[in-house]
Amino acid sequence: MQVNYLENDNVLLENKQKELKGTLNNLLQSRESFVHAYEVILLFVIGAFVAFYTHTYIYKLELFNAGE
């Protein structure tokens, strides 16, 4: 009888271990997805910033050249 309890406990522990491994894998995937999304957004913001200031610089250069 005690052997059955130990076997049942072992099965329960193995199931919990599999469940925890699955949870950890999901968390790692979520983290990777978040980091990737953050990088994409950061690159977009930097690109927009560079485009804006490049456009502003060209506009000011055109105004300067027009004044010559």
Residue 67 phi, psi (nearest 5): -80, -10
pLDDT at residue 63 greater than cutoff 80: yes
Can you list the alpha helix ranges (DSSP code H) found in 1-68?
A: 2-66
pLDDT at residue 14 greater than cutoff 90: yes
| Tokens coding 6 | 């130990």
Which has more confidence, 3 or 48? 48
pLDDT tens digits for range 17-61? 999 999 999 999 999 999 999 999 999 999 999 999 999 999 888
The pTM of this model reads 0.63
